[in-house]
């Protein structure tokens, strides 16, 4: 990156979204990342896009409405903002795209545009990746285009740790997320104060609190590693001690049989972070691991005590552009999906809202079970109209709803259903 900076040819990034994480990303890249520049921001509200540049100390952003205007702004070194997101993938002045929106239909459209134009795309959009990521990545592979999840988001941090642990010669058995709160019944009403305190989107904050977000995140990890879930929604284990103490909490034989699981723990330290529990199958190294204070096995604990979100995201862009390297991608067809569960009693005729709202929360489930039982993905619940009442905490099935099948994400999911699952 320093070489790119010295040569006057920075990696030029086009960004979708202008929320809290996006603002931080622009400020990080503008001030602290050599050889990289956010040249354009697409957002529904132009003022928010301009504010994101302003937060980074880059004033004078110009609104563009067509490709020629965008390319002229980039060539002139002027920050560009637009409410037409399709321009970014088409611009020759942009080297890489990053989606920081969390919107499923929007994210799917942007991914298809990136694939069509041959642009690498970094997804800080766990919701689209968990819902239709397998089919999008398959399309990208066929086109020779790189799609990847993101450093800084828990899936990326876990996958980096997973590779590190394998590099030591151990076999990862659990990949986990450390959470401070889990309450499936939180709503935007209960989370409004927290969202305002930290200048966050209340829907996103609610999806953290009700567990939908961690289920989306662990779904991405499962699909990138072949790991599964031991039960619907994962263990939801509460543990107030150190994460190292979890080495005794799992049945190693079950983990071996399953091939590894994704999970999360509530209340453990250090928080917030991620962890990997791994087995050293070569017994010659057991005494050395004990000497190095990792315990006596058979499971050993590795963790990172933080994930720094947008601060780490520029590394994903650099990896994609400079090395064609992905932080994480589905291996193929989904191994795990996230299904919609009723947050309260739902009535006939109700039109479901999105994740992080009032009506549903998401839980990770084996893809084979999702298909066998006809379960509705949480990322596709919005806009579905109920044909029968659903009791609180019960899963919602495709047969229970009239779905907006004309939407892009629904069409992609129908195509994804044709991908054969691994045996």
pLDDT digits (tens, 9 = 90+) for 65-83: 999 999 999 999 999 999 9
Task: Give tens-digit pLDDT for 40-59.
Answer: 999 999 999 999 999 999 99
| CB half-sphere exposure, 226, CA atoms < 13 A | 10
pLDDT tops 90 at residue 292: yes
**Average pLDDT across the chain, whole number:** 97
pLDDT of residue 13: 98
pLDDT of residue 204: 87
Angle of helix 20-32 relative to helix 313-323, nearest 10 degrees, comes to: 60
pLDDT of residue 200: 87
> Nearest Cα to 115, choosing from 161, 146, 70, 88?
146
Higher pLDDT, 181 or 276: 276
For the beta carbon of residue 308, count every other beta carbon within 10 angstroms.
14
pLDDT of residue 275: 98
Task: Give tens-digit pLDDT for 363-420.
Answer: 999 999 999 999 999 999 999 999 999 999 999 999 999 999 999 999 999 999 999 9
Average pLDDT on 322-331 reads 98
Task: Give tens-digit pLDDT for 85-122.
Answer: 999 999 999 999 999 999 999 999 999 999 999 999 99
pLDDT of residue 215: 97
pLDDT of residue 198: 84
> Alpha helices of 150-241 — where are they, by DSSP H?
154-167, 188-197, 202-209, 212-225
Give, as one character, the DSSP assignment of residue 405.
Answer: T
Whole-number percent of the chain with pLDDT over 70:
100
What is the band of 233 on the pLDDT scale with cuts at 50, 70, 90?
very high
pLDDT tops 90 at residue 324: yes
Whole-number percent of the chain with pLDDT over 90:
97
* DSSP class per residue in 380-391: G-TT-EESS-B-
Task: Report how far apart, in Å, the C-alpha atoms of 148 and of each of 168, 339, 422 are.
Answer: 24, 22, 21
Q: What is the pTM of this model?
A: 0.97
């Amino acid at each position: 990156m320093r070489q790119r900076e010295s040569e006057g040819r920075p990696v030029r990034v086009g960004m979708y979204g202008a929320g809290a994480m996006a603002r931080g990303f622009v400020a990080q890249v503008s001030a602290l990342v050599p050889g990289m520049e956010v040249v354009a921001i697409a957002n529904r509200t132009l003022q928010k896009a301009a504010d994101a540049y302003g937060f980074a100390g880059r004033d004078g952003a110009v609104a563009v409405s067509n490709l020629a205007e965008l390319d002229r702004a980039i060539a002139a070194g002027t920050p560009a903002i637009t409410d037409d997101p399709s321009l970014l993938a088409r611009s020759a002045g942009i080297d890489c795209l990053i989606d920081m929106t969390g919107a499923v239909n929007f994210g799917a459209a942007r991914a298809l545009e990136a694939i069509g134009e041959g642009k690498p795309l970094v997804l800080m959009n766990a919701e689209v990746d968990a819902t239709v990521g397998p089919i999008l990545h398959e399309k990208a592979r066929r086109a020779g285009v790189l799609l990847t999840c993101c450093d800084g988001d828990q899936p990326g941090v876990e996958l980096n740790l997973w590779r590190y642990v394998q590099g030591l010669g151990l076999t990862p058995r659990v990949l986990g997320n450390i959470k401070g709160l889990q309450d499936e019944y939180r709503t935007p009403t209960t989370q409004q104060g927290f969202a305002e305190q930290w200048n966050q989107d209340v829907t996103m904050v609610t999806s953290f609190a009700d567990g939908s977000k961690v289920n989306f995140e662990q779904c991405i990890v499962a699909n990138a590693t072949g790991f599964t879930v031991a039960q619907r929604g994962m263990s939801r284990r509460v543990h107030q001690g150190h994460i190292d103490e979890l080495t005794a909490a799992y049945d190693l034989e079950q983990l071996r049989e399953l091939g590894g699981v994704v999970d999360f723990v509530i209340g453990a330290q250090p928080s917030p972070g991620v962890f990997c529990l791994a087995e050293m199958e070569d017994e010659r190294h057991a005494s050395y691991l004990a000497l190095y204070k990792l315990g006596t096995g058979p499971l050993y604990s590795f963790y990172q005590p933080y994930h720094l979100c947008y601060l780490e995201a520029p590394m994903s862009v650099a990896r994609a552009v400079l090395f064609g390297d992905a932080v994480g991608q589905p291996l193929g067809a989904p191994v795990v999906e996230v299904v919609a569960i009723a947050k309260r009693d739902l009535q006939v005729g109700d039109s479901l809202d999105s994740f992080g709202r009032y009506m549903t929360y998401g839980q990770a489930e084996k893809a084979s079970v999702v298909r066998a039982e006809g379960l509705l993905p949480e990322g596709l619940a919005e806009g579905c109209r109920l044909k029968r009442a659903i009791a609180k905490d019960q899963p919602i099935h495709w047969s229970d709803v009239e779905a907006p099948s004309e939407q892009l994400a629904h069409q992609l999911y129908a195509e994804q259903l044709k991908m054969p699952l691994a045996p």
